[in-house]
A and B are shown apart, each in its own frame.
Chain A
Amino acid sequence: MKTPILEIQHLTMRFGGLVAVDDLSFTAYREDVTAIIGPNGAGKTTVFNCLTGFYRPTAGQLTFHGHEGPVLLERLDGFRVPRHGLARTFQNIRLFGGMSVLENLVVAQHNHLMRASGFTLLGLVGAASYRRAEAEAVERARFWLERTGLLARADQLASSLPYGEQRKLEIARALCAGPKLLCLDEPAAGLNPRETAELGELLLELRDRHAIAVLLIEHDMSLVMRIADHIVVLDYGRKIADGPPERIKRDPAVIKAYLGETEEEELPPEVAADLAAAGGG
């Protein structure tokens, strides 16, 4: 029996007349890598923004089983979401470019370190307890740097990293925040095949070894089909399918959403190819 970590019920988000997400319900489980897929503009990122408090949903209930028991995410300010154990990355990478890689990871542990520094007062006098907490934070950063293969980059400027490593750094930074659920917005975008494969390994390792559930938005179908345990398909803000990869591959509604539209409009060939490959395999 799987334990739910995130239950989305009847989530709706409207911007003026536009309905970006329409009555979406699904559950993500602790033991799963859950993927949200769908054509561009299907409302995937909007779901993330509702989860992480950047948008206030028009309607719906978002129950997250976090560090301190269940919370309703739609009632939280954005900055209060992470402390319950939900961390995210962004489609367009958002690093602290002018700071070093290590600093990026230490900033991710801000709230914990803030308490350890006695809200700055203990830190100012150089208390031993704070120095210990800082050393632990650095160790945690070192641990994730090692896992993401960025250890050698620790003291470099975040903005000086190549694109693929910036993506990894953003994931490492989210992991340093100590999440129970990691939400990744197109983590493989712009990665080469080798980097994508490494990313897949990392996500599976998070699930299996660190008990971190993963929720990802991704267009790379081969990656999704390989690592996802559970796929939710959105089209025009509505859920058109929800289930394990084998079922999604054969779902007529999904095939129509990806291929049916393309007859009269522009063909996204790589999507078609991916889907065909995935469907055949």
Chain B
Amino acid sequence: MAFPAMAFPAMAVIAQAVNGIMMGAVYALFAVGMVLVFGVMRVLNFAHGAVFMAGGYLCWFAMAHVSPIYPVALLFSTAGGAAIGLVLERLVFRRLRENLSMQIVASLGLILMAQNGVLLLFGADALQIEAPSLRRVLRLGELGFTVQHLVILAAVAVAVASLHVFLSRSRLGIAMRAASQDIQAARVVGIAPDRVFAITFALSGALAALGGALLGPLFLVFPGMGDLPLLKGLTAIVLGGMGSVWGAVLGGLAIGLLEAEATLFAPTDYRDLVVFAALIATLLLRPRGLFGTAIRGEP
């Protein structure tokens, strides 16, 4: 099939789609964790990017000092992220549930602490996760992509599918949705809110750290590696409608695709402009986002 105007060769469009879906999957994973916490607790955790970054460092540490097997390092990072989530909920966000401005202040403080803590522990140089097999390039005709592209897509698909099954089938998952819809009703049926909030934050932290551990081998591990996913993940949440897990997933994928394809018709530096212009246009046409409903969100 020939493109009408040959300005974008079809192969380049497809190659950028592969890149875009891969980055979009990472944004989606990031956004899902954030939207989960927002949906259940009405807490906006801007330190979610710091947990993502911690996932990258945990993965580097696991590969270097625990086990050179990447799946083991992924599990290690994910478990570490869950633990970080638990600590953040217990020590910080449990006290700030009703207070959005203090959540933002606390998040910024946490980001500073995390980034400087990492500088202290690991130094200012970006770290490379030693996994040459993940960076091996696969060829599909003219198309080339790394093994890690596939690993990311598979891991995100498994994580999102597992989350979906958890939220729709399991006792605790349904209780999380119940608490997000009516916290008082949850209390009268015996769901202890504090427990639900702890589980929500653990899950959210696990997903963020998994994201960092997935992106680490492709890019480098450095203190600011969570900033970009934070920006794009937030955009994905707003684009998706500030509500559902699926909105966040599709919003993340849409942003990844859009920014990758944007590099074909605009200078690379303009891709954020394209993404945010698309966000503004979407919100002008659909103030609730692409998949939002009039009702305030639930996961």
Same complex origin of A and B: no
* Interfacial residues, chain B to chain A (CB-CB below 8 A): none
